[in-house]
């Protein structure tokens, strides 16, 4: 997969978003050991220092933790990941409704459109 | 420990001031963008760090040592123009570098050249300009140096090669080394930079963490640079 970055937004914030999606979607599961900073930097093709900063941010949100000398792990707190997923989904939903509102459609109409989407 | 320290550095040519009272401090483990318009003084500063020019006043220290034989050993420098003998084959240039530098890793050079589909039995004169630039970059990145200084490394290469070169820089520098990349093509390289230094009319206009600057100005480094130095 090719990762694209918008130069107008701090790179570590964009990395943080990618990482959150990884955690929410279960690419890395609760309690799982994460690849090293260098491996992540190689995957995203970013500076290892920037990657480190994004991971430090995830750690300060308690989504991952460092086991001394052993590397980084995803939190074993499944509730926390669920909460992250809920917040993320809510933000996407809000952004959809805002878009619909701009073209004059209310909530009921917006839901009708959602129902018309085939899986 | 400071990798590079520049103190009150001034340089002029024919009474024309090219660099005026430059003060800089760079620590290991970072990729620094030295960004400025044509003629801002980037290459002059780089040549001074590499002992190819002598300052009028001021001082440059690498790992605390004054510029000289010892500092040349730990700096791997990619000049703007090639100095290699074009009649040489790539394999001969590799031998030449191996003789010349204790910290040159020929195995690594061969591996990187292979990744780039470059034939080591080809003469430089038979290669395109872009291919020659790639060879030169591979040689420079195959030294185990403390400081890599790349002067306009992306000048003549296509976008696909540019990405490969940036990845090569990223995957080959370590926390004990620093990289200084000079360029006026900011948007191409800004994603890999830790820090940026803006140089304008021979003076340091700004030194900042790249993401902090983006956050503060809500814009890309390229955009911030354009705003600051509008013609």
Residue A27 has pLDDT above 80, yes or no: yes
**B16: its two tokens:** 């024309």
Q: Which residues contact A36 (CB under 8 A, 6 or more apart)?
A: A71
Closest CA to B53 of B65, B64, B45, B61: B45
Sign of CA dihedral B221, B223, B228, B229: positive
CA separation for the pair B69, B212 (Å, rounded): 37
Mark the ranges of chain B whose per-residue pLDDT is less than 70.
none
Q: Domain map of chain B by residue range?
A: 2-84+145-228
pLDDT recorded at residue A111: 94
- How far from B142 is each of B78, B125, B137, B150, CA to CA, in Å? 12, 22, 8, 13
CA–CA min distance B195, chain A (Å): 11
Q: Which residues of B touch A13 (CB under 8 A)?
A: 211
CA separation for the pair B72, B97 (Å, rounded): 14
CA–CA min distance A85, chain B (Å): 25
Torsion angle of the four alpha carbons B184, B143, B156, B22, in this order, in degrees rounded to the nearest 10: 20
- pTM of this prediction? 0.87
Residue A56 φ then ψ, to 5°: -60, -40
What's the gap between Cα B142 and its chain centre?
A: 14
Q: List the single residue in A with minimal CA-CA distance to B211.
A: A10
Q: Which residues of B touch A9 (CB under 8 A)?
A: 214
Does residue B44 contact residue B19 with C-beta atoms inside 8 Å?
yes
What mean pLDDT value characterizes chain A?
Answer: 93
Subunit contact A8:B221, Cβ cutoff 8 A:
no
Subunit contact B191:A8, Cβ cutoff 8 A:
no
CA separation for the pair A83, A89 (Å, rounded): 10
CATH superfamily of B2-84+145-228: P-loop containing nucleotide triphosphate hydrolases (3.40.50.300)
Cα maximum dimension of chain A = 56
Residue B89 is classified by DSSP as B
ipTM reported for the complex surpasses 0.95: no
Q: Report, in this order, helix, strand and coil percent for chain A, each rounded to 5.
A: 60, 10, 35
Confidence of residue A35 (pLDDT cuts 50, 70, 90): very high
* Lookup result for tokens 């990145």: B141
pLDDT recorded at residue B230: 82
Closest CA to B63 of B140, B142, B147, B7: B147
* Lookup result for tokens 């900063």: A53
pLDDT recorded at residue A69: 84
Does residue B19 contact residue B10 with C-beta atoms inside 8 Å?
yes
Pick B23 or A119 by higher pLDDT: B23
- How far from A118 is each of A108, A113, B203, CA to CA, in Å? 18, 10, 60
Subunit contact B193:A47, Cβ cutoff 8 A:
yes
Confidence of residue A1 (pLDDT cuts 50, 70, 90): low
CA separation for the pair A114, A7 (Å, rounded): 33
Does residue B157 contact residue B165 with C-beta atoms inside 8 Å?
yes
pLDDT recorded at residue B185: 85
């Amino acid at each position: 997969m090719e990762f694209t970055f918008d130069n107008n937004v701090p790179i570590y914030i964009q990395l943080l978003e990618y990482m959150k999606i990884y955690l929410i979607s279960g690419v890395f599961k609760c309690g799982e050991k994460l690849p090293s900073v260098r491996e992540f930097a190689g995957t995203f093709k970013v500076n290892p220092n920037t990657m480190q900063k994004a991971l430090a941010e995830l750690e300060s949100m308690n989504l991952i933790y460092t086991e001394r000398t052993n590397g980084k792990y995803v939190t074993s707190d499944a509730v926390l990941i669920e909460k992250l997923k809920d917040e993320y989904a809510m933000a996407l939903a809000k952004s959809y409704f805002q878009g619909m509102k701009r073209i004059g459609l209310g909530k009921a109409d917006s839901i009708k459109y959602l129902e018309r989407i085939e899986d | 420990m400071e990798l590079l320290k520049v103190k009150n550095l001034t340089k002029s040519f024919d009474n024309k001031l090219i660099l005026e009272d430059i003060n800089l401090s760079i620590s290991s483990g970072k990729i620094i963008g030295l960004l400025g318009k044509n003629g801002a003084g980037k290459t002059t500063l780089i040549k001074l760090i590499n002992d190819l020019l002598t300052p009028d006043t001021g001082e440059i220290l690498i790992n605390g040592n004054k510029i000289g034989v010892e500092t040349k050993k730990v700096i791997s420098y990619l000049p703007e123009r090639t100095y290699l003998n074009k009649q040489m084959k790539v394999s001969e240039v590799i031998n030449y570098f191996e003789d010349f530098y204790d910290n040159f890793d020929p195995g690594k050079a061969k591996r990187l050249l292979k990744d780039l589909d470059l034939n080591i039995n080809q003469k430089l004169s038979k290669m395109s300009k872009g291919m020659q630039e790639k060879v030169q970059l591979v040689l420079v990145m195959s030294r185990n140096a403390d400081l890599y200084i790349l002067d306009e490394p992306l000048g003549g290469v296509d976008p696909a090669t540019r990405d490969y070169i940036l990845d090569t820089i990223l995957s080959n520098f370590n926390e004990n080394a620093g990289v200084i990349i000079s360029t006026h093509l900011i948007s191409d390289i800004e994603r890999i930079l830790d820090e940026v230094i803006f140089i304008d009319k021979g003076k340091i206009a700004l030194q900042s963490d790249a993401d902090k600057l983006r956050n503060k100005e809500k814009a890309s480094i390229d955009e911030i640079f354009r705003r600051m130095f509008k013609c």
